[in-house]
Structures are given as C-alpha cells and as structure tokens.
Chains A and B, each alone.
Chain A
Amino acid sequence: MFNKVPCCTFALLLSLAGCTTEWAAEGSYYRTTQTLLDVQSTPPGKISINGSHKGDNSLSIPLEYEREVQRKTRKVSYWISQPGLALGITLLSLGIYLPFSAIPVDVELRQEPQSNFRSNQFVVQVQADGHHHWEDTVVCTGQDRLVLNPVLVRRE
C-alpha cells in the first residue's frame, strides 16, 4: 500500500502541472531598444546622425528606437509559478491543500518581441574637408551592432 503512495502523488503532481489555461494575447506595447552603431570613415570626418553632430573621426553610439512587444498571459497553478510555495502550503496543511492546488490561480506573463519597429531610421552623414559628403540611411531592426565604413570621394 505504501509503495503506491509515491506513485499516486507523482501522478497527481503531473496532472496538476497540466492545470493551465492557453496563452491569450493581452495587447502590445513599444519597448525602447538599442543598436550600437560604429562609424569609421576614410578619411576621418565629422559624423552627424539625423542632422545632429555626434563626433569626429570615429564614432560608437547607441541608436535608440522602439520595438513592438506582444504581451501574452495565461493562468497557471502555483506548482508552475511557485513550486516552493505550493509544496510549503501542502506540507503545512498536511496535504489538504493538494487537491486545491490544481486551481490555476496565478497569472504568468510572456513578452514576445515582434518585427514592427518605430523611429528606427537614422540618417548618417560624414563630412571631411576636400571630400564630397557621404550620407546613408540606417534601418535598425533589433541588431546588436551595426558597422559603417564609408569611403569619401575626393572633390575634383
């Protein structure tokens, strides 16, 4: 009889772990994201981003923009969100809590980054004496780092 107790408990815990609801979308929001931009031009020049002077010769600067993040929630039992607490209450209540612990009482949150971005285009300009201006538009889409090595054309 006593051999069956651990098996029954294990089976019960397994079944309790399945007491969750499906992930449900709860809307989205835009979260600030950064991409590190490295610019090293040949020859060295004044570097501007969106018309604002940021540095001379070489530059390493984080570009800030926003990325859409989808929020999803589901209801879970304490065995999933806080197993220690669930075990503690079960022991303290001498096992009486166990059947009730199947109730999905807690809310679990998942944040999923999407491929929608906001304010993620940056115009990079490099100016050097005796050379034509160099300009490019950088589009950030969640990269950690972007490297630009512009070569400026000498004026005739």
Chain B
Amino acid sequence: MINTVPTKRVVGIGVLSCMALFLLSACGTVEHKVNLLNNFTPDQATGVEVGKVANETGKTFSPGLNVEDMLRRALTQKLSAEGLLSSNATPKKLVLDSKILDYEEGDAFKRWLLPGWGSTVLTIQSDLRQDGQMVGTVDAKRTVSVGGAYTIGAWMTVFDNLAGDVVEDLRSKIPKVEPKQ
C-alpha cells in the first residue's frame, strides 16, 4: 500500500507528460540544405529573387489552394525579413527557381487521433541561378506528423516554416554587408 502511491504518481506524471507532449508539440521532420556548385561563392550583398515556382506533385489541388503562390509569397516574405530580397540596390542577383515535389495538406484532427495519419508534408527542390547559369541547388522538406490542436493550420504554416529554412541556408552562404560606421 505504501509503495503503490508513489508508483501511481510516477505513472500519472508519465501519462500527463505524454499527453501534454502530444497535445502541444508539433513533431515532424525538418530537412534542408543548400549545395553551391563548382565552388561558387556569392558576392557580398547579393540579392535573391524568387523565380519560377512549379507544381511537380502530379496532384491537382482545390481552386482555393494555390500552392505555387503560397510558396512564392512565403519565400518573398522570409527573404525580405532577412534583408536578402533582390532590389535595385543589390549589385548581384540570384534567382531561385523552385519545384514543389510533394504537398499533403494533412489534418490536425487525424494527427491527434492517430500520429502519422493526416500528416502535413511539403518537399521542394530549387535551382539557384546567376546570369542564367545554375550555381547551386536547394532541397528542403518539412512534415508535421504528430500533434493536436497546436498543429491546426499546419497546411499553411508549413510554407512559412520551410521558406524560413531555405532562407536560413541562403543567409549562411551569402556574406552579410556590415553597416558602415
């Protein structure tokens, strides 16, 4: 009797932690990398322009769901926030042509019922071009496969998160201009 109380408490804490984790967390895969070809090094203050975005999933989405536009907007927004978006002031320009290889809207309720069911998936592949010549490639993937209420809207936020990953990788390759003192 004396020993069962702490055991129950431990199990209870475990169950509660597990439930909290499943309810609150948005678990999934995050993979992204930029590969620059032939030792290409971008110049300082190079800007990035969002080029063509193509749907290569082989799927047709509902008329209200324009995946190409969602990716283009997310990339533009993240590049702008990072100060990487190409403008008239940027001396050099890289063009990011992207292909959406896989997109699954998923369903937060299904994910909550059974992890892995109703996963949200977004996979893209992009070519980086300078003056029409391919100088690098980008591969990025995000999934939201486990989670509850917290993952509602992942079908939309997955574009922002993936664009953030891509821009983070580009930032690491393009030297930042230090402000003049």
Query: Which positions in A face B, CB cutoff 8 Å?
Result: 26-27, 29, 31-32, 34, 36, 62, 64, 71, 73, 75, 78, 81-82, 85, 89, 92-97, 100, 103-107, 109
In whole angstroms, what is the CA distance A95 to B11 when docked? 9
Query: For residue A95, which residue of chain B has the nearest CB?
Result: B14
In whole angstroms, what is the CA distance A107 to B115 when docked? 12
Contact check, A107 vs B21: say whether CB atoms are below 8 A apart.
no
In whole angstroms, what is the CA distance A100 to B114 when docked? 10
B15, chain A: closest CB distance, angstroms: 6
Residues of B within 8 A of A107 (CB): 29, 119, 121, 143, 145
Residues of B within 8 A of A81 (CB): 29
Contact check, B119 vs A62: say whether CB atoms are below 8 A apart.
no
Query: For residue A32, which residue of chain B has the nearest CB?
Result: B127
Interface residue? B91 (CB, 8 A): no
A69, chain B: closest CB distance, angstroms: 8
A121, chain B: closest CB distance, angstroms: 18
Residues of A within 8 A of B102 (CB): 26, 71, 73, 109
- Binary A-proximity of B1-19 (CB < 8 A = 1, otherwise 0): 0000000001101110110
Contact check, A92 vs B121: say whether CB atoms are below 8 A apart.
no
In whole angstroms, what is the CA distance A64 to B119 when docked? 36
Partner of A92, one of B17, B57, B137: B17
Interface residue? B53 (CB, 8 A): no
Query: For residue B27, which residue of chain A has the nearest CB?
Result: A85
In whole angstroms, what is the CA distance A104 to B115 when docked? 8
Residues of A within 8 A of B116 (CB): 75, 103-106
